[in-house]
């Protein structure tokens, strides 16, 4: 894993069983839920790997899978179980298979949100 900033792990949260292969780049303040899978080989078995880039303050929820080479924009949110095959715009909220943008509200409204039952 590469870091965009100096100490991503100190300010990011990575939950259990996240698969983060070489060339993955994680920004600052990123949340990676349990079982997230990043890929780095678009067409196995090739010799040319490309990492996923996750920019600052993005949230990747439980069990999401991300295609090799895509970029998740700053403060974007990937919903649980999504299969993300394309770049995600900054502040985009993506759910489903294949992942589709359902909102541009971004991660701000989710971080530390407690107004649910
Ligand atoms: C992406 C997420 C944050 C969106 O939350 P939200 O804004 O409260 O979304 P809502 O529940 O209001 O759902 C909005 C719509 O998107 C759909 N949706 C939400 N999350 C979805 C998902 N992961 N996959 C598919 N559809 C989803 C809902 O069914 C709803 O569809 P509708 O309008 O047709 O009824 C949330 O669903 C999620 O994935 N949370 C994961 C939590 C997690 O992984 N935590 C860390 C580990 S415990």
pLDDT (tens digit per residue) in 32-61: 999 999 999 999 999 999 999 999 999 999
Ligand 1 centroid, distance to 47 Cα (angstroms): 36
Contacts 24+ apart (CB under 8 A), 36-41: 36/60, 36/61, 36/62, 36/63, 36/64, 36/65, 36/66, 37/63, 37/64, 37/65, 37/66, 38/66, 39/65, 39/66, 39/67, 39/68, 40/68, 41/68
Largest Cα–Cα distance in the chain? Answer: 49
Domains held by the chain: number: 1
Q: Which atom of ligand 1 is nearest to the CA of 78?
A: 1
Average pLDDT value over all residues in the chain: 92
Domain coverage including residue 52: 1-117
Q: Give, for ligand 1, the residue of 35, 65, 79, 88 to mutate: max count of ligand atoms closer than 8 Å to Cβ.
A: 79
Query: 105 is written with which tokens?
Result: 């509200």
pLDDT (tens digit per residue) in 82-108: 999 999 999 999 999 999 999 999 999
Query: 68 is written with which tokens?
Result: 């090799």
Percent of the chain with pLDDT over 70: 91
User: Is pLDDT larger for residue 69 or for residue 110?
Assistant: 69
**Degrees, nearest 5: CA angle 86-7-17:** 55
CATH number at residue 25: 2.160.10.10
Task: Give the pLDDT band of residue 110 (cuts 50, 70, 90).
Answer: confident
Residue with CA nearest ligand 1 atom 46: 33
Alpha helices in the chain (DSSP H): 8-11
């Amino acid at each position: 894993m590469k870091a965009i900033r100096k100490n991503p792990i100190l300010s990011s949260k990575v939950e259990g069983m996240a698969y983060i292969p070489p060339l993955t780049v994680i920004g600052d303040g990123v949340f990676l839920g349990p079982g997230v899978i990043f890929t780095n080989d678009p067409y196995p078995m090739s010799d040319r790997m490309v990492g996923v880039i996750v920019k600052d303050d993005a949230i990747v929820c439980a069990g999401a899978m991300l295609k090799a080479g895509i970029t998740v924009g700053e403060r974007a949110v990937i919903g649980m179980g999504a299969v993300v095959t394309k770049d995600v715009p900054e502040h985009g909220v993506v759910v489903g298979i294949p992942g589709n943008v359902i909102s541009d509200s971004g991660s701000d409204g989710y971080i530390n949100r407690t107004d649910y039952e």
